């Protein structure tokens, strides 16, 4: 008998809680798009993934982005597709929205609005936190 790892065996390993923290506006820098790419990659590893949007990161989720005029790829529809990758834990900081004159209705995904305190608690409960 072989001791080698059988196909599919890796996926039965320990599941860790990963949180991706998005703090940058889209388009002005590459952080938001790169962060999204990493989130999509993470979906392949069957981990417990959640996304937090704080500071200017909340702008990534604003409805009605039309990027034709700046000749950049509009990647905002991809946030709506995350559900299809079993990434369903999306959180936004209420204070960050309010400071920017935004409300939950202005966002293009179903998302849980948390206070800073609630988000802090959730962040502290993660095994791995990755920031973009």
Partner 1 sequence: MLHIVNKSPYERNALEACLRLARPGSALLLIEDGVYAATRGSTAEAGLREAMARLKVYALRPDLEARGVAARVIDGIELVDYGGFVDLACGQPNCQSWL
CA 79 to chain CA centroid, Å, is: 8
CA distances from 5 to 9, 11, 107, 118 (A): 6, 11, 44, 41
Cβ 8 to partner 1 shortest distance, Å: 42
Q: Which is nearer to partner 1, 32 or 87 (CB)?
A: 32
Cβ 29 to partner 1 shortest distance, Å: 8
Q: Which is nearer to partner 1, 18 or 31 (CB)?
A: 31
- Asked if residues 16 and 49 have their Cβ atoms less than 8 Å apart, the reply is no
CA–CA dist 19, 5 (Å, integer): 29
Q: Which is nearer to partner 1, 7 or 101 (CB)?
A: 101
Binding site for partner 1 (CB under 8 A): 24-29, 55-56, 59, 62-70, 72, 74, 76, 99-102
First-to-last alpha carbon distance for the chain, in angstroms, is 46
Cβ 106 to partner 1 shortest distance, Å: 8
Q: Which is nearer to partner 1, 43 or 102 (CB)?
A: 102
Cβ 24 to partner 1 shortest distance, Å: 8
> Would you say how long the chain is, in residues?
132
């Amino acid at each position: 008998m072989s001791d080698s790892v059988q196909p599919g065996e890796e996926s039965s390993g320990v599941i860790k809680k990963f949180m991706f923290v998005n703090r940058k506006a889209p388009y002005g820098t590459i952080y938001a798009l790169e962060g999204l790419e990493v989130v999509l990659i993470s979906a392949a590893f069957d981990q417990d993934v959640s996304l937090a949007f704080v500071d200017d990161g909340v702008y990534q989720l604003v409805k009605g982005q039309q990027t034709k005029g700046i000749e950049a790829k509009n990647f905002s529809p991809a946030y709506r597709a995350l559900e299809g990758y079993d990434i369903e834990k999306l959180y936004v900081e209420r204070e960050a929205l309010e400071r920017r004159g935004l409300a939950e209705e202005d966002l293009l995904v179903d998302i849980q609005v948390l206070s800073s305190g609630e988000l802090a608690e959730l962040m502290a409960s993660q095994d791995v936190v990755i920031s973009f």
